[in-house]
Structures are given as C-alpha cells and as structure tokens.
Amino acid sequence: MSAQRRALRGAVLLLCVGAAACGTPSHRPKAGGSPSTSPSSAAPTGAGSPRILEESQLRDLVIPMPTGFAPCTTAPQSGPISPSDFEHIQGPTGAIAFHFVTGYQCSRSTSSDSETLRVEFYEFSTNSDAKDWSQVYISEIVGQTPSDQSSFPLIPGAVALNSQEPVEDTAYVHAVIAVANNIVMAVSYANDRAGSLPVTYGVWAARQYAQL
C-alpha cells in the first residue's frame, strides 16, 4: 500500500466508525461523548416521524458515486455499522445512550487512490437522538484536528468541516454533516489539497441527502 493511500485511509478515519470498519483506530474521534456534551454547532434537524430502516434499506439509499470512483480495494470499506461498531467512537455505552439503531457506510476511491469519497448513515430512534449525536460528533472531530467550520448552503442547516492540516502530512478531509429526521448523514472527501469541498462533491452530497 502506498504512503499516500495510507494517509488517505487515515484521513477518512476522522469520519468513520473506527477499527471494525476502517482499520487502525489511531485517528478516530475520541470515545466517551454523551448527550450532554456541549455542541460546537447544530446540524439540520429535519424533524418528522422517525423512519426506522433496516441496514439493507439504508444501503439502498446510497446513490451512484461521481465518475472516476471505483470500489475501494482494501476491505472492509463498505457495509453495515452495528451498535458495537458505533461504540468504537462513543464508548461502551454509546449505542444505548444515544439510542443508536443501525447504520451503513459506503466508501469509494479513484483508481490512483489519490482521492476517497465516503458516505455514512447513522440511524437513531428519534430526531432528538440524531441531533444530539451530530452535535457531539462535530465537536469531537473539531477537537481531533484543526478544522474550518461553516454552514453548507446546498443543505440548509448542514455543517461543513475542512481540515486545516493534513492527516499523516498528506491528506486533507472535507466533510458535510447533516441530519434528516432520525438519520445523521456524514459525507467526507479526502485528497491532498486544503480548502473547501469541491463543488462536484458538494452537489453529490446534496443529492444524497435528498434521498433521506
């Protein structure tokens, strides 16, 4: 595996479920958050009747990736997020504390492995649970690595995070976090350039959010 690929995988760990889903846990957000943790910003709430979906139904919500992204060659990069996976980022009582139900993640890379695009769905029992956890998650990501934080105009209320420093001295992470009713969507794009999420992937994130 190339050094750049290792760095890109490490960068994506900032927005994934940790060892069970993505490999080494060295860059995952710290465990131990709870619903009372002070939020750094609010993601959109999208309140309404909860949609309790099976993992396979979440998988079916993933839209085709933009041109140029092939399935990642290092498994596992796509698949279900179980309560035990969730607890890799929120500690041994995280799933119970936040009423986590299930989740799904899909990650793709370019043929050169120089870019990675990832979407994750985290399903909770209620909109309030989803909103609480999205705020904790944003706070933990910002605490893990210096990031520019702003609104994301293509999804009202969504939060955009762009790392100010490269992970493992190579890869930058550009992310969007949004809440649709009782589901948290996290889209992350990793490459070797600082700045904002490229427009192409921002439009893709908005299209993906519209499926929820």
Place of tokens 């695009």: 117
pLDDT for the residue numbered 43: 57
Q: What is the pTM of this model?
A: 0.79
d(CA 89, CA 18): 7
Q: Specify burial of residue 1 (Cβ count, 10 A radius: 0-12, 13-18, 19+).
A: exposed
Residue by residue, pLDDT tens for the chain (212 residues) are 444 444 444 444 444 433 233 332 223 344 344 444 333 345 555 656 677 898 889 999 999 988 888 765 554 568 999 999 999 878 889 999 999 999 999 998 887 778 899 999 999 999 999 999 999 999 988 888 889 999 999 998 899 999 998 876 678 999 999 999 999 999 999 998 899 999 999 999 999 999 99
Phi, psi of 112 (to 5 degrees): -90, -5
pLDDT for the residue numbered 87: 92
Does domain 3-26+41-209 bear CATH number 3.40.1000? yes
pLDDT for the residue numbered 69: 87
